[in-house]
């Protein structure tokens, strides 16, 4: 997906960063299991660096771990603008149009790696098993697989 270096989050990330020849890193994004990964992120982030997170912690993180380095911590929640009154929800449309242009130009690529169809108990179980295995890379989508007859019946 274009990464310059890849590390395994199931192994000691600090050791892997050091093995790549880095003392620290400037930016970190936590995409999963932030309770597990935040302490290591706090150790390997460079002074004045930034840590971003898109998923909730199960327990409040100890932000004191990054205070002395003046590291910033950023939350990103896709639906924050529409959910918050007075937060200019129309800006969400601007952001999505910008992202769409990035996708169309190839600057931004989707992370979809597997599609399961049709939506059913079996495909939902399969999707959960894949995610719970901790071995998936990218996103898994579930799609409806309606025939024209089924669509016509749904409209009546």
Supply φ then ψ for residue 126, to 5 degrees.
-60, -45
Q: How confident is the model at residue 146 (pLDDT cuts 50, 70, 90)?
A: low
Diameter over CA atoms, the chain: 64
Across 73-97, average pLDDT: 84
Q: Is the pTM of this model over 0.85?
A: no
pLDDT value, residue 147: 58
Query: Is the model's pLDDT at 3 over the cut of 90?
Result: no
pLDDT value, residue 62: 97
pLDDT value, residue 150: 45
| Chain segment 36-58, per-residue pLDDT in tens | 999 999 999 999 999 999 999 99
What is the DSSP code string of 63-98? THHHHTTT-EEEE--TTHHHHSTTS-THHHHHHHHH
Q: Which of 11-15, 48-52, 119-123 has the highest mean pLDDT?
A: 48-52
122-126, 135-139, 151-155: range with lowest mean pLDDT: 151-155
Across 140-145, average pLDDT: 85
Query: Is the model's pLDDT at 138 over the cut of 70?
Result: yes
- Within 13 Å of residue 102, how many CA atoms lie on the same side as its CB? 10
Beta strands in the chain (DSSP E): 25-30, 45-53, 72-75, 112-116, 139-142
pLDDT value, residue 14: 93
pLDDT value, residue 31: 87
- The larger pLDDT score, comparing residue 86 to residue 76, is at 76
Across 68-76, average pLDDT: 97
């Amino acid at each position: 997906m274009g990464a310059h270096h890849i590390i395994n989050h199931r192994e000691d990330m600090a050791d892997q960063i050091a093995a790549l020849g880095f003392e620290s890193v400037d930016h970190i994004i936590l995409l999963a299991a932030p309770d597990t990964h935040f302490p290591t992120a706090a150790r390997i982030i460079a002074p004045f660096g930034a840590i971003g997170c898109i998923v909730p912690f199960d327990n409040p993180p100890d932000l004191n771990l990054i205070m002395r380095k003046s590291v910033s911590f950023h939350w990103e929640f896709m639906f924050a603008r529409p959910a918050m009154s007075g937060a200019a929800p129309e800006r969400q449309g601007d952001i999505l149009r910008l992202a769409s242009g990035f996708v169309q130009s190839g600057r931004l690529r989707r992370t979809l790696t597997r599609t399961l169809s049709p939506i059913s108990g079996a495909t939902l179980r399969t999707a959960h098993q894949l995610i719970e295995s901790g071995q998936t890379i990218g996103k898994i989508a579930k799609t409806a697989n309606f025939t024209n007859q089924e669509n016509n019946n749904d409209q009546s």
